[in-house]
Amino acid sequence: MHELKRRMLKLLEQEFIGWKYPRDWIVHGHSCYFFSPDIKSWTNSLAACGEIGGNLVEVNDVTENNFLLSKILPYNTEHWIGLTDKEGNDTYVWISSGQIPTFTFWVDHEPSHQWKMPENVFVENCVFYSNKDNDYMWNDYSCEAERHYICERTLTVDE
């Protein structure tokens, strides 16, 4: 275990020296994460993550989900994740891998793909951690809304 930790620290030093990245990346498992202090639309969040070498987070299992929740719950903020139906075909996929999620954490009765009001129908194609009822589950919403966002970058260990 000590050797693995040493190799990971060495990797982080080698990987990030001279690389444009925020100081606030948090390492967990095989990835590192950035929790944005600012708010942007889903599309601008995706671009912001790309500018610092990551993607909007892809939540692959309950362990990763619980880690992310542990970081956002204390701040009572909503965050975009990398799940989208930008194609408008009612199928949500991870923007970074193009895969349909095998793990989900939807609010009851979601995804709805739209929000209806008497005069308008709003298309909902992007997914965020919603603090509706303080449950922090996934909800779909207009990609143009501004939220905080979570970036992810996969760590690799060279042999």
Residue 116 is which amino acid?
A: K
Would residue 66 count as lying in a domain? yes
User: Is residue 159, in this structure, part of any structural domain at all?
Assistant: no
Query: What is the C-alpha to C-alpha distance for residues 118 and 122, in angstroms, rounded to an integer?
Result: 11
Query: Which pLDDT tens digit goes with each residue over 41-63?
Result: 999 999 999 999 899 999 999 99
Higher pLDDT, 54 or 16: 54
pLDDT tens-digit readout, 49-101: 999 989 999 999 999 999 999 999 888 899 999 999 988 778 999 999 999 99
Q: Could you report the per-residue pLDDT of 92-131, keeping only the tens digit for each?
A: 999 999 999 999 999 887 787 566 555 666 778 999 999 8
Range of the domain at 134: 2-154
Listing DSSP states for 55-89 in one string gives EE----SHHHHHHHHHHHGGGT--EEEEEE-TTSS
Domain of 87, CATH number, reads 3.10.100.10
Q: What is the pLDDT of residue 114?
A: 65
Q: Give the helix ranges, DSSP H, for the chain.
A: 2-16, 42-51, 62-72
Q: How many domains are contained in the chain?
A: 1
Mean pLDDT, range 128-153, rounded to an integer: 91
Is residue 31, in this structure, part of any structural domain at all? yes
